[in-house]
Amino acid sequence: MVKTAWVFPGQGSQSVGMGIDLMDLPLAKERLAIADDVLGWSVSGVCQSEDNKVSNTLYTQPCLYVVESVLIDLLKERGQTPDLVAGHSLGEYCALYAAEAFDFTAGLRLVKLRAELMSQTSEGIMAAIIGFDREALETKIAETEGVVLANDNNPSQVVISGTPEAVDAVLTTVKSKRAVKLKVSGAFHSPIMGPAAREFQEVLDAVEFQPVVVPVLSNVDPTPMMDSAMLKERLSRQMTGSVRWREISLALPEQGIERVIEVGPGNVLTGLMKRTVKTLTLVNVGTLNQLQTL
């Protein structure tokens, strides 16, 4: 039996029309009805909106959670199960759902609040850096107050986050092939998110995590974990902590993983991972056709 990990993409993988081919399935209709009641707006309507409403943080995160959760349940209906799960930023909530740490509704309520808090954040900026000297980058970040490594995606792509002045100081000093400021409302995965994280914590504390059925690799600690209390504690640090995706990718072969299925729209994570680990078989399941041909 081939050991398989399921991984779940986060914000940035969304697209207009995502999940639409799934939404007439009975299971999807049930989930959409619950989601629309919890959210107060239509997930299918937002996903089909031609004005790219789905790329607004307020809507992106709940829509991704719903689409990826439906794919999780459809995979399980077909007898598929992972040996390990992980998710990138928002995707960690989907990984925890796949591991059965909480039910669909509890997870959606957390994601809804997370999206609201993050969309209201107006401080700081983020920038992606591609093709750089890692030692030079890490040295400059260490020397510069107000900036952190937010997403360590793979050896040649990272995202930094912090105050505009600190981010600019890094971008103007560290040579790279390409650097792009991201169109986000604030400095996600940095200490600037502290006030939002504290408000989120009050709600997270009230959610009871159930025993998980597979190990989870968390963004802030990429080691396999099945202790629910520890997974909840790791999640509580996620909003201000770094997404250590490069380390998660490297950890998979160490855990005997041979195949990785990216469950969600697009191929962002498989694209990142193929540059980090050459030995993994990478598969995408984001559409009904991909699901049926798995």
| Distance from C-alpha of 62 to C-alpha of 59, rounded to nearest angstrom | 6
Instruction: Confirm if 107 and 69 have CB atoms less than 8 A apart.
Output: yes
Question: Which residue in 13, 69, 89, 119 is the catalytic one?
Answer: 89
Instruction: Confirm if 174 and 137 have CB atoms less than 8 A apart.
Output: yes
Q: Which strand (E) or helix (H) includes residue 68?
A: helix 57-77
> Is 88 among the catalytic positions?
no
Question: Which residue in 13, 189, 242, 249 is the catalytic one?
Answer: 189
Nearest CA to 257 out of 291, 281, 235, 278 is that of: 281
Q: How far apart are the first and last CA of the chain?
A: 15
Specify the amino acid at residue 116: E
Nearest CA to 45 out of 37, 54, 58, 56 is that of: 54
> Is 189 among the catalytic positions?
yes
| Distance from C-alpha of 129 to C-alpha of 109, rounded to nearest angstrom | 33
Helices 134-143 and 164-173: crossing angle in degrees, nearest 10, is 140
Complete edge-to-edge strand list for the sheet that includes strand 281-285: 216-217, 84-87, 4-8, 259-263, 281-285
- Enumerate residues 6+ apart whose C-beta is below 8 A from 166: 144, 145, 146, 147
| Distance from C-alpha of 244 to C-alpha of 219, rounded to nearest angstrom | 5
Active site residues per annotation: 89, 189
